[in-house]
Amino acid sequence: MKTYSGLCLALIFLLLFSNCDTKKASAETEIEERKTVEMITSYGTVTLELYNETPLHRDNFIKLINENAYDSLLFHRVIQNFMIQGGDPDSRKATADQVLGNGDLDYRVKAEFHPDLFHKRGALATARDESLGRESSAMQFFIVQGKVFNDSLLNHAESRINKFLARHYTINDSLYKELWLTMKTAIEDENLELYRQLNDSIDAMAETYDNFERYSIPESHRSVYKTIGGTPHLDQNYTVIGEVIDGMQIVDSIAGAQTNEMNRPISDIRILSVQLKDE
């Protein structure tokens, strides 16, 4: 009886010790420190944190920072109450009348949609062209300024999200993929008439396409949109990779700049340098 009690106590001790180690390891994993980035612009400094939940985008952004790829580029697209966009490599030596927004590197980053990451005010996200995989631009990014929404506006945004998703799943459906590929060829051939016809056809099919899981904006996200603001209609369609933690007033100032008909600031707003804060 005495030996049995000793054995029980030993087993209990081992189990508790093992459980503590497991919890400790789990906690260490959860508290993985985020990388902090300083983006110094001609309007001031914006400090950003990069999310560990989107590691492909995080690592790509850090690689570009280490290569000084963003230094001297412009914020080439600015829309008040929406976002500020930069990262076009063609903007470094752009002339005043040059149309920007098409420059990039020769690769894309695989989409990383995460249910907890959304386009709240201050969110850092990646631009992209339409593609079957919704891959992100290698370089171009935007920072959300946004606005505050009410429930009615959020319901409308939710409808827009699902419209985007319906189109995405339509062009990926084997029945319609060839149509989308033909449309892309029309763009490359600069056949605008054929492009418009095919694009309209895809839109028409997407209106009734329902072979996908519809998205509902979570209540926790709605609460943020109704207090802090953001651009909810982009959720789950563009990859969010970080957020502003200091310098949001700089984003507001850039967003308020005077622009031309292409949303390019009349006076250049330049990214002077981007660097990891802990290096």
- List, for residues 159-178, the tens digit of each pLDDT value: 999 999 999 999 999 999 99
3-class SS string, the chain = CHHHHHHHHHHHHHHHHHHHHHHHHHHHHHCCCCEEEEEEECCEEEEEEECCCCHHHHHHHHHHHHCCCCCCCEEEEEECCCEEEECCHHHCCCCCCCCCCCCCCCCEECCCCCCCCCCECCEEEECCCCCCCCCEECCCEEEECCECCCHHHHHHHHHHHHHHHHHHHHHHCCCCHHHHHHHHHHHHCCCHHHHHHHHHHHHHHHHHCCCCCCCCCCHHHHHHHHHCCECHHHCCCCCEEEEEEECHHHHHHHHCCCECCCCCECCCCEEEEEEECCC
| pLDDT value, residue 279 | 53
Locus of tokens 């690769």: 107
Its pTM surpasses 0.85: yes
Number of domains in the chain: 1
Asked if residue 2 belongs to a domain, the reply is no
Find out whether 123 and 57 touch, Cβ atoms under 8 Å. no
- Which residues, including other chains, have CB under 8 Å from residue 190's CB and lie 6 or more apart? none
Beta bridge partners of 35: 50
C-alpha–C-alpha distance, residues 137 and 106, integer Å: 9
Q: Identify whether 165 is part of a domain.
A: no
Write the pLDDT tens digit of every residue in 125-141.
Answer: 999 999 999 999 999 99
CA–CA separation, 123 vs 55, rounded Å? 16
Q: Which domain holds residue 63?
A: 35-148+228-276
Q: Is residue 142 part of a domain?
A: yes
Sequence-distant (6+) residues with CB within 8 A of 133 are 110, 111
Which of 39, 64, 22 shows the shortest CA–CA distance to 243? Answer: 39
Q: Is 139 exposed, middle or buried (0-12, 13-18, 19+ CB in 10 A)?
A: buried
Identify whether 272 is part of a domain.
yes
Cα angle vertex 191, ends 186, 195, to 5°?
55
In a domain, 91, yes or no: yes
Q: Predicted confidence band at 19 (pLDDT cuts at 50, 70, 90)?
A: low
Instruction: Determine the pLDDT at residue 9.
Output: 44
Q: Is the dihedral of CA 84, 88, 94, 95 positive or negative?
A: negative
* pLDDT tens track for 63-122: 999 999 999 999 999 999 999 999 999 999 999 999 999 999 999 999 999 999 999 999
For 201, other C-beta atoms within 10 Å of its C-beta total 14
Q: Is residue 198 part of a domain?
A: no
Question: How confident is the model over 185-231, as pLDDT tens digits?
Answer: 999 999 999 999 999 999 999 999 999 999 999 999 999 999 999 99
Average pLDDT, the chain: 91
Sign, Cα dihedral of 43, 84, 253, 267 = positive
Q: Is 43 domain-assigned?
A: yes
Per-residue confidence band for 31, with pLDDT thresholds at 50, 70 and 90: low
Is residue 259 domain-resident? yes
> What is the CATH number for 107?
2.40.100.10
